[in-house]
Structures are given as C-alpha cells and as structure tokens.
Structure 1
C-alpha cells in the first residue's frame, strides 16, 4: 500500500484464521477528530485518502478536510481518489482499449518499450451492448440474434481477444453472459477488496469507476462506484488518481414499506422524480432510515442503478444484514462474507438505524405512499401515474399540434388491423435496472401466466422481447415454470444484453414502419429500462415509457398507451368477458413464493465459467504481440489520430479568436444527441463513408458498435435524427448553416470546410448539456470536428469532465444569462479572451461576439475546468496526453 501511515492507523482483522491488514478509521479519528456522524460514503473516501497518503497527491490536510466536512457538511477542496478497479462495457470499452493500443504505438514510435502502457488496476470488460433484437417472439430468436452478433462484431471481438492477451490486469467477459452491471452486482463486486503486498493481505473498501453511467448500480451492495468517461477510466487504469471535489452528500431517508401491488420500478421512478426536483447533480446521495429494513437488496440496486437519471454521482446504500444475505444467495464464499461483516463493523461502515449520519441536506419518503408509475415520453425523471397515462398522451398530441388526430387510424398493409397514435409497437423487458431484480421479473412471469390462462394474447403490432441481465434469470424462470407463459405472449429470450434500452431494438416490421411514416404517427415503446431519450430506443418511436417488467407485459396485451389500466380492460378472455389488470396482477405473497425459487446454486452454475465464452468465442483466433496489427481495410477498429505530435513541445493555451459557431442547442441535449449509439442512416456522412468503404447497408450495425473507428464516430457526432440546431428553422437531425455561404449542410461536412480554412469552432447550448450516458465519443467527436470550446448554461458532470479530458474548453454562462439573453443567433464570430499559461480553475473569461452588422456584444463566462488536475490535463491537450507525456519523460 502507498500510505505513509503518518497517523499510525495500520491494524489487523482475523477472519477464519487469516490475518487482514487495514487502515483503521477509529484510530484516525483519535488524531483527526470526530467522524462518527460522517456518512458511510464519505468514510469510504476518507479511508481511500488515509491509505494513499503520500505527502504529495494526498496530504494530512486532505484528511483534515474530511473531518472539517463533518462539521460544515460542505467544503470546497479537491482530492485525489484512487478506485480499486475499473469496469467497462464493450461500446465504451472498445475505444478505451483502442486508445491504449494507440498509446503503445506512440510509445514504440518514440523509441520506448510499449509495455509501459498497461492497466495498473484490475479491469473487467463485459461484452453486453452489441446484441440486437433482430429476431423476436420465436423459439430460435436467441440463437439467431447471437449468431448475427458474432458475425457483425467479429473484428471488434478479435481486437478485444488480442487485448486480453496483450495487457496485464485485463479480463473480458464474453458475449451472451450478461449485462456488465448485473455481472458486477452478482459476481465481481465484493464490498471489501483485498490485495497481496509485501507478504501481507490488505483489506479496504471495494471501489470502482466504470465506463457506463449505470456503474452506480453497485452502490446497492455498499460499493462506492460511479460512471466516468472512457477517457477518465483509461487514466485511472494507468495509475492516475480521479481528481474530484469533496462532494456534498444528500441523505434520503426512507420509512414504511411498499403497498400491495407496487413494484421496485414504481419506487425508483418516484425517487428519480424527487431527487431531480431536489437538484443533486454532482452530489452523493446516501439512503438511510428504517424503511431500508423492508427493502430487499435487488430493490436497492434498482434505485442505485438510476443515479444518472436523478443526476447524482452515486446513490449509496451502506452495508447491513441484507447485504450479507444477498452475498450468500449469489454464491459468495463464507470468508468474503465474514470479512465484509467484520471490516464494515470495525470501520463504522455498517448501517445502524440508531445512529443516523448527518448530511448536507435531506429528504424523506414514506414507501407506502408510492403508486404504480411510468416515466416518459422522453425523460426518465418525468414520472406519470399509471392512471394518468392516457390523458398524458392526449396532452402530448395537443402539444405537438395533433389534437384533432386523436381518432386517426392507418390501415397496416396486408394485415387485419390498423395503427393509431399511442399504440405500443415495442414492449421490452430489458436493461440492467430491472432485470437484476427477481421480484419484478417474477411478477412479469406471473402476469404472463395469468394472462395466458385467461386466453389473452399480445397485440399483433407489438414487437416484444425479453433480454435478461444474466443467465440466472433464465434459470429461475424455468424453475418457476414461467418461461413457457412468457414465450406464449412473445416474450421469448432474445439475448443477454442491454438491447432496447441502448437503442439495439432492431428493425420494426416493414409494414409497421410504413404505417407510422404514412400517418406521421406518434407511437410508443414501453420498456423496463432506464433511458428513454428521444431517438434512442428506435428512430420511428417518438414516445418512450419506462415501466416495471409486469407493466411491460400488460401494455403488450393492451397494445396502447392511451389507456387507464386501472379501469380499462386489457382484452377479452376465451369466453368474451373483459379482463382487467387487477385480474392478472399477482399478489405480494405470490411474488414472494416465486422469488424463493432463486437459489445460490444458479449463481454458482452460471458464474463458474464466466470468462470462458461459447464455442464461437473460443474459436476466435488472434495474432499475438504487444502492439496491435491495425488492418487498413477495417471499418470497426482504426488507429485514432489523438496522439499525433505527442513528441513535440507543448503549446500554452491562447485566446480563441474569430471562431464560427458550429451549432446552437437548447436545454437537455444528451450525450445520445451528441454521439448516438443506435442505427446509422444510409444518407448520413457516416452511412456514406461506410458505403464508400464497401459496407452494405444491411451490415452497418450501430454507431455504438463502431466506436473503435474514429472516421465513423466523428461523422456521427451531432448526428442524432432528433437533435435540433437552433441555427436552422424547423429542421431535425445533424445539420447546420455554413456561415461563409449560408448553405445548409451536415454538421460534419461544415466542420471539415471550417477546418480547411483553419477556422476554430464553438458550440452554444442551454441547460444540462451532456445529460445521460458517460459517452466519451461525445467529447472525442467534438474535438475531432475542431470545436475548441462549448458555452452552455450548465453541464452534466461526466460530459463536462470528458470535454476537459479531450482538450475542449467548457465555459458556463453567468447565472440567468444564455443564448437568448445575449441575442445570439449562431451567425456571430466568437472570441474568448484571457486564455494563457496562467489560466486558473473557475476563472472568469471575456467573450466578444461580433455580429454580421459589425456590432459587438461582450459578456463574461466561467471557465468550468474545476480542479487543478483538470487544468493540467487541459494544458497538456487532454488527460491521456498528460499521462503519455509523463511516461515519455
């Protein structure tokens, strides 16, 4: 361990005859002062600093600052945090490993040993984002989808297998195993991590960063973890600490218990709405109170999973008896379980209702007040009571100028049914959020069973799918005898992966697409996911609703979201009688009985050979070598240009002068708007590039799968079909006005024209810029288009740090100011003044916007480089440049 232990806190624990060394918080308290009321999540941070105190990156003053926080509940101080490990999924992981491979090339080119580029922390990459719902509602859907996945992604998987052999400390969980967060929760996570060093075994809190924003799911078992961009994760892998400000911690107190018929999904949508209204962006949220005694671990994980949706860095549940129960259920060994209990109690990390911590701020929820809910149509925090969904949808039609079309019907070609506004065309039980939760999954199975027994069938226009987060789900469905009923309603297994939630919903049937287009219909998807941003689930589906798995089944039976399922029938039974949701909704006792079927043998069986993969994975052969043999004709994996000129002297920051505006955006532009993960349009710059390189349209795959190719990804930047550039009137999609000629063209094409003339670019935006997934290509693509700065009213945490990590300057308008207030149209030339080698975090900078008529407007903006470390990264051209330059020295 790197700690100096200047406070003499090194202690030991005995577990089953084995000695574990650890840095004791109670001993530190003797020297530092009272920390008894510190939130558990903050104690984890304090232990991290205590263990890594080296007098340079972590000092005794950092430790004292944590104690000062205990008194003030808020303190403005930067700390260097070192997570124990890194988690990746393949969409974000492939570009991360591509960058490491490119760094090895750069090191070799500079005459050094390329093997200096190696993960120093354990890294697990789970391939879970690539399977698509091509086939559905048939017995062979799973097998066929997996076959197509392997066929489409062969180049990517060959690259990852090379990486597994070339890099140390790097493991790959093959496709068809599960979703990274569920694998993390059920297998990888330990709550207490251990490491052998100098003949001793050290124990310390399990902590991590992940290249997916829903890494926070692991907070459910008392593991502090959150999503970062791939860029920041790569730096953490290479030994760089995560630079962060000591956070505020909002306490969320729970009392009571959920009512009969209310699910964990209903609870999490309520929590998400409450916390978004509270405002917790950049803060920790920690759950406490007696209500946790009634909250199974899977429900806690569901709430933790959706931290990005309520905007918090993490949603932390301290370790308690329920954590240990879950560990036994999921097959963790007894030594691990005893260590977790003893360590947590010794360190004051054990949850205790009689000794509640003190927080920066608090809010409270009586669990019995939660009602059946959905969220949508395009934001996860917009909760709607199930009873209000129909009227809410009518309001959407009115808002979109379609109030006179409520009864509109479009005949589906060749079918005996028509489509209307609000009809459900996708019903998907999918995503990490809910498929890790046996109670809501068993509830879905029971709804299916009762529906089949009543003679109900799925409406024929609904594309239905079941994509669990791990194979354990399949095991318990089969044991409970519920799989056959789900199959009968078309919820056949389609794959183990994110599928619909990440935009891999696959194509709708041609005749359905035709009817939607012909009638300009606003149709719905209902999914048990966590993300429903516009254009994400499917390009033709404008209204997307998050719901519990049993409600997904119910809406597949109903076929429409313009209904009140509390009183409108789902359909008719075999005798022609109306059947209502209450007739097929299982009781809490029925669900509990089904959940008893889940046992630790299932976990042992499915995770026994978690890194092995199927025959197809095992048959992939790759060339060995410590540098990658890039294939010129590959359209999946290319050597990126990020490290060109790394051996040349650094240039100090300088003023950005006479920049053109590439685009002007309104509020809530997501990373999915900036860098979509879904389908590639044939007439888009990325689609044209692929066709020019011999790729047929049917083999385009998705943007997400092609993140290893910068040529595709820079062409896909700002290319979401639903993005709206305010420089153009009533135009959707990735277009802009090229100011020198006034032409409308694709944003990529305009950026390349500006680049030819050495014209710097800026992007203007509103509030919450970069909301959503921790998508590093949203920052990488921005920099490759020649954007030097983004001016926004506010930022989501991860995207702001990603911009800095790629050398793009994030600037924030003063409170109450923005594009409208300064009457900016995007046709101005923008100069940003005050950029030099003395630039400081949070500094105010002057912006001069020169209008077409020659007049000027001046205003000040805040430099949103927030920490000293971030400033070092920015001045080096980005975080990876900073690391690489340090190594080359």
Structure 2
C-alpha cells in the first residue's frame, strides 16, 4: 500500500461498533466542495477515493484528483493511474498468467536477479472453473464421471497451479468442482468495503478489482467496481503496476417499475443489452439508478451487471443500498462487515436510499421494467433480442439465409428414434453460466417448470443434449432442499459439473447419431443456453444458431425440441393424457418462486464456503514440485515456457516496412474468432502438432485447457471455424493466401513462411475489432505469428489494451479510409513510418500502401496507444517486459 501525500487533508476516522477505521473522506474541505458541485456518480467516487489513497505526486498527482473530482460524469482527456485492490482469475486465462510469472522468474535468474522479486503485490484468487467439459450427461453419474475425466485431462495444469499456490505470495487457488469465479466472487470473495492493516491502522476503502474474464463486471451488483482485463493487464496489476485509464463517460440508466408476472431477470437483461448497444457505451461506465432498484434484488442486478461486456460497457454499476446489505447477510458475511459497509458508504455519499439524488451523467436512458416481455437473443450475437413470440420467424429467416428454404420442413431420420429431426431443432439445452445460475429465482423457476412438466408427462426430445452446470454448490443445496433437483433429473437436466461448460464452448460431443444426422444432412440446428455468449463457432462446431434464454425457457425449449415454435401460442407437446400442454400450463407464478427463494438461508452459504480452498480428494492427492522457480517439462503438451522474454520480443521499436497483410477481416470480429477456443479441429495445425507429440485425437482436450502451451495456441490463432478472411472469400475458417500466391493455406503456415523470410505482417479489419471475452491469447497469438500492427476502423476496449500489453501496435484508419475504400485485396505491402522518433499518445502515423500494380497511396493512421504509460509499454515490447526491465535494473 502506497502512503498517500493526502494534499487535500482528507484522512479521517470512522467508528463502527467500537472499532476505529481510517479512511479518505470525499466530503471534506476544498475537495468536498468540488465533489458536491460535480454531483459525481458513485462509480466515479470510487475511482476518486482510489486516487486520494494513492496520491504520491508521481503516478498519482493532485491534478489527477482535481480532474476527476470536477468531471461531472463526463469523459475528459486526462490520464490517471488506478490501483485495484485485488485480482480475480479463472484457469483458462489464469494458467497462462502464472506461466508468464514463472517465465519472468526464470528470466530474472538469467539476468542475475532474485526471482522472488516476481510476486503478486495484491491478493489474487484463481478459480478453476473453465476446464470441465460435458462429456457425460443425462444420468446420476454425470457429475462424478465428468470430474474424473477433467482431472485426468488436466493433471499437468493442476500440478502447475499447485506449484504456483506454494511459490507465490498473495496467491490462492479455488479448486475445480467449486463454482464459477464470478459467482464465487459474488457469494464469498467480495466484501463491498475492503480493509487492510497499514502502519498499525485499520484502513477501510471500497472493494475494487480487475479480473481475467470479461464477466468480472458481475460484481458491480454489490457496489464493487470491477471489470475484465486481459491476462496481460491483470499480471501487470498483480505486479504493482497501476491501470492507466482516462476519465470515463458515465451513462446513467434509470430503472422504474417492477417485472410483470412471469417475466425473469434474463428477459430484463436482454432488453437492457439491446438498448445500451443501440445507444453505444463501448469504453464507458454505466451506472443504474431509479425507483426500480428498490424492487431489484442483488441476484437480478448481478444478471444485469454480468452482461456489461455484451452491452459494450466497461462496467454496469449498482450503488450500495439495503438490498446489498440483505444479500451480504444472506450469503454469510459477518455482521461487523455489514455494519462497516453501511457506515462507510453513508459517510462517503455512496449509499442509495430514498434521499439519493440523481448524479450528473454524460447521458441517460430509462426503462420501465414493467414493459419487458419474454425474450431470447441470437442466433449469433447477444445484443440481437428476439421476443419468444417471434422466435419461429427469426429461425426460419436464418435457415432460409443458409439456403435451406426448400428443406425447412423435411424430416431426417434419427438412428434409434421414431421421431425425425428437422432444421431448427434444439440439440443443446443447457442451464449454464454465472449470468443466471447465480440467480435463485430463475434457477428455482427452472426447477418448477421441470416439476410441472413431469407431472404432465412431458419428456425432452431424444436429440436434445441436456445439462445443468451451476455456478456454485449453493445452487445444488437449495434445489435439493426444494425437492426440485429430482424433477430436473427426470428430464435429463442432471448435474454435470460446477463450471462454465456450454457458455465457453465446453459443451462436449453430441451423441453420435445426432452428429451423424446433422453432418450428413447439413442441418441448421440450435442450442438454447442460459449463458451470455453465443458467437459463431463458440458453443459447438455443428450448431450454427445459438440462443440465450432464461433457465426456465431452456427447460421449455428442451421439451419442445425445436426453435421453430411460438411458445406463446403453440403447445410444447402432448401430456400423458394425450392433451396438448402449453408453456402457460407449466410456468410457475412469481409467488411460487418467491416462496422457495425464502427458504434459502445463510447456513447454506457458510456450509459450502467453509472449505472453499480445500478441494475434493482428487485435488488433495495431486502432487506438485516445490521451489521458487519452475522447470518446465519439455515433453508437456499443456505447459511450456513462452518466448515473450527473449531478445526478439524486447521492444526495439522501429518503422514497419514492407509488411504483408496476413488477414483481411470484416466488422465485429470477436476474440472468439481470433483466440483459440473450444474444441481443437482434427485438421488444424494444432491437431497436427499434437499428433506429432504422440497425443491421440481423443485426448486433444480443448484449446482453453492448453493455453499454457504457446506452440498450440499460436497454431490456433485466427483459426476459428467461422472466421471469414476476405483474402479467401470462398473458404470459411482460419485460412489465408500468401501475397502473390493463389493457393489458400492455414494462416499459421503463411505466418511462419513470412517469419522465415523476415517479412513483417499486419492484420487489417473493420469496425468493433476484438469484441467479446478478455482473451489474452488473441493478442499473444497475434504477436507470435509475427504481426507488428493491427489496422482497423475501431477497437473494442479490452482487446486493444491486450495488443498494447504484448507490444503489438493498434492503429485506426482516419477520415473515410477503410479496407474497402482503399481497395485492399491482400496483395499489397504496407509501410508504417514515424515509429523511430519520440512517440506520443494517439499520434498520427504516415502509412504507404504499395499495390501489386506498382502504384502507391499514402494515408494517415491514428495510433491507439492512448496514454503515455501505454507508449512506454509498447516501446518495451509489452507490459511484462516493461516490469521485468525495471525489476532487473533494481537488482
């Protein structure tokens, strides 16, 4: 903890139940006058307190504090340094993060420095939640079987993480089979107000964090300011580097009214996502306010806050109020903590009650919650809301666009079933993801739908793969207490694991006969999942239409077996009495759900989190090496020492000359398109590498589980089966064309040819480049393929930051220039000039395009190195090399 200069003299004391806490008050003296005049949003007050506590005259100055205090909720071109209190990681992004730290320790040893200099300076919690795959489903042994398979597949990774837990300070691991990181954060890790012993005083300050998963934003439901960053940025924060940011725009979102009968928080959030995407909040804070919050419990707020990445915002923040205290008490936090949260927030003007005054915002939106109707979103973007009554029309249009209009009603025989399959059928019905499994109302609602369906004699269609993957064991506690788990089991929604599963592409294989029917007949089939992501190629390679929905609707569509249905007017099927059963016949009332929600108590939370770091017997039996440094096993196909700290990646910034275009991409290219994720295709360069290393196809596992091996990840970068490279418009997938050649090749293979020839390369794209998850391998893989710059029309926030963090230059077209107006085909060479002199944030660079016919065109490209700190990172070859250089110099 840095000692603050406290030039505003804001340090004060707060007495709570006989305990004295020191804090930095926002309402005193000259600063208090500025804060009151600016009517600051609560989220900005959290940032302001952070600056007061870290004022040192260097990384944080008095001028920074004044700029933020006067911001009035509006963006300003003023850079400041933000120090989150802690870091949250999941294992897909956490493993490569720990790999980098281990490699940094080895690099320090090579420089003759103490490897112990590499240690997290802030608390870091890594939750293993991304590794369980739904290999087994639909029976009582599914959970046990999937855990056994997970342990077998991931033993090397888990041994490595156990080494890290013992080797690093301030680093704890929540073992597999416990829950999803965001739900564990909400239910256990977060405190809303953090405390720390500093110079003999108990210092209190707002709980803040960054996480290596974009849905870290879920914690904003508890008034905890947090958002997702790339693994690279998180590693820097762990090592004491502040996050450089600009004074943000804060968009106020007013919620009024109450949800109507039968409407869920999922329906609400899909409407919110649609509205905010339409408004445009990329890179902005969203803060919710209004009378509707009084009727919105924390679980519903968490659903909304979780999907901030889907509406594009940095965060979706809810001020602390009585609902917050109620949830903290329910989830087992102690009474002194609750008293501190309330007293601190009231003292700082961060408490929401009937006297709450609407702050000044850069812009405002308003939604009457009572107008929300039942919704889904899809078929491939979370912001594309479709009312339940319109789903049949929407999927039919999607099928017709795929050229299947004439076959839309044609039945396809399914081996072992009397019922044929059709286009639009649901082959995956998954209750999954922290977005909804953290919400007891929708989970209990799903259980009640299952109970009523069983009573009516309904069954899930034979082609539907069903699953239930809660975000914590508490969910199992209350489902079993209510007697609803047996009803879910009856329909095949058995527990398959505690983790992200389907939402991140770990949906596992479909039954052989279903895969055969889809592949042989080119069926356009659907998944329905209670997740937050449905991008192309993410859920399952054979499933082209993916729909986000509430858990009760997941059960309903599993019963219907198709998305070519209007559930508001058409029956789900026939009951055991031969009569049609409609959704309204099995949909629970709000009162039924509420009565079960009231049975949840804090003993459930205390019981499940009492041994949260212990793990099961499988975890406890894992043996791992010990020591300050890690000797990477050369034969491992899971964990390898990355080359990021070798001399060729250590900066040496200069002009980029004669660069070839490696890929020419369109709009809304996601990090799912760029970063390897999901299953490893059998004909891919990564598969070839694994076979060369004696790994059988059945043991490929997923890209996510192999993120600790750069050799595999770089081979899968830009390898998504649905990515479209305009240089090879006739092919879908990770292919390109080498400049001057006609034959398509894998992007990896062409990149290696360019590197062998010492030819730099660039990526060219359209708008919203890098939307989606905070995947550091989207930047790491780009770097290792030899890409020196990414030139697009606009970036999504996290990926741009990750590119900078790896030393790849992010550039934007200016004026009316874009890949189309410049008539780029991939046969051009590009020079980017002006990099050898003094670099400044957001400066313009001259670029010369050399066309294949010998003509040239000069354009200007704007640097998206947005701050001075980012310029320094880029010049050092990325943030990790920047930190390493500083630590080595201080040896």
Match of 1:516 in 2: 518
**What's the offset of the Cα at 1:399?**
2.0
Match of 2:731 in 1: 731
Establish whether residue 291 from structure 1 lines up as the match of residue 289 from structure 2.
no
Structure 1 52/511 Cα, relative in aligned 2: closer, same or farther at 3 Å? same
Alignment check: 8 A CA contact 2:810 2:863 kept: yes
Structure 1 28/95 Cα, relative in aligned 2: closer, same or farther at 3 Å? farther
What secondary structure does 2:412 align onto? Answer: strand
Alignment check: 8 A CA contact 1:714 1:784 kept: yes
Regions of 4+ moved over 6 Å: none
Match of 1:570 in 2: 572
Per-residue Cα deviation, 1:733-778 (whole angstroms, up to 9, x for no partner): 1110012433211100100000000000001101110000000000
Match 1:433 to one of 432, 435, 451: 435
**What's the offset of the Cα at 1:845?**
1.4
Alignment check: 8 A CA contact 1:7 1:31 kept: no
What's the TM-score once normalised by structure 1's chain length?
0.99
Match of 2:418 in 1: 416
Match of 1:819 in 2: 819
Per-residue Cα deviation, 1:231-260 (whole angstroms, up to 9, x for no partner): 000000000000001100000001000100
Structure 1 stretch displaced more, 18-27 or 225-234? 18-27
Alignment check: 8 A CA contact 1:110 1:647 kept: no
Match of 1:687 in 2: 687
In 2, the alpha carbon distance for the partners of 1:627 and 1:32 equals 52
What secondary structure does 2:184 align onto? Answer: helix
Match 2:536 to one of 534, 537, 540: 534
In 2, the alpha carbon distance for the partners of 1:32 and 1:833 equals 48
Alignment check: 8 A CA contact 1:646 1:885 kept: no
Match of 2:395 in 1: 393
Match of 2:636 in 1: 634
Match of 2:47 in 1: 45
Residues 96-115 of structure 1: matches in 2 within 5 Å?
Answer: 96-115=97-116
Per-residue Cα deviation, 1:348-389 (whole angstroms, up to 9, x for no partner): 010134411110000000000000000000000000000000
Match of 1:799 in 2: 799
Match of 1:241 in 2: 242
Match of 2:508 in 1: 506
In 2, the alpha carbon distance for the partners of 1:187 and 1:34 equals 32
In 2, the alpha carbon distance for the partners of 1:364 and 1:859 equals 42
In 2, the alpha carbon distance for the partners of 1:550 and 1:28 equals 53
Residues 10-25 of structure 1: matches in 2 within 5 Å?
Answer: 10-25=11-26
In 2, the alpha carbon distance for the partners of 1:34 and 1:620 equals 53
Establish whether residue 317 from structure 1 lines up as the match of residue 324 from structure 2.
no
**What's the offset of the Cα at 1:867?**
0.6
In 2, the alpha carbon distance for the partners of 1:18 and 1:647 equals 51
**What's the offset of the Cα at 1:403?**
1.8
Gaps of 5+ in 2: none
Establish whether residue 252 from structure 1 lines up as the match of residue 253 from structure 2.
yes
Match of 1:662 in 2: 662
Match of 2:549 in 1: 547
Match of 1:673 in 2: 673
Per-residue Cα deviation, 1:621-677 (whole angstroms, up to 9, x for no partner): 1111000021010000000000012898x63x2211110000011111110110132
In 1, the alpha carbon distance for the partners of 2:187 and 2:31 equals 37
Residues 734-883 of structure 1: matches in 2 within 5 Å?
Answer: 734-883=734-883
Alignment check: 8 A CA contact 2:27 2:33 kept: no
Structure 1 468/815 Cα, relative in aligned 2: closer, same or farther at 3 Å? farther
Match 1:590 to one of 553, 577, 592: 592
**What's the offset of the Cα at 1:815?**
4.5
**What's the offset of the Cα at 1:327?**
0.5
**What's the offset of the Cα at 1:395?**
1.1
What's the TM-score once normalised by structure 2's chain length?
0.98
Gaps of 5+ in 1: none
**What's the offset of the Cα at 1:16?**
2.1
Structure 1 stretch displaced more, 478-487 or 407-416? 407-416
Alignment check: 8 A CA contact 2:27 2:35 kept: no
What secondary structure does 2:719 align onto? Answer: coil
**What's the offset of the Cα at 1:30?**
4.5
**What's the offset of the Cα at 1:6?**
1.4
Per-residue Cα deviation, 1:799-833 (whole angstroms, up to 9, x for no partner): 00000110101111124431111111111111112
Per-residue Cα deviation, 1:574-609 (whole angstroms, up to 9, x for no partner): 110000000000000001011112110000000000
Alignment check: 8 A CA contact 1:29 1:35 kept: no
Match of 1:619 in 2: 621
Match of 2:57 in 1: 55
Structure 1 stretch displaced more, 707-716 or 855-864? 855-864
Structure 1 stretch displaced more, 21-30 or 293-302? 21-30
Match of 1:76 in 2: 77
In 1, the alpha carbon distance for the partners of 2:158 and 2:744 equals 39
Structure 1 stretch displaced more, 416-425 or 561-570? 416-425
Residues 300-339 of structure 1: matches in 2 within 5 Å?
Answer: 300-339=301-340
Match of 1:186 in 2: 187
Match of 1:712 in 2: 712
Match of 1:458 in 2: 460
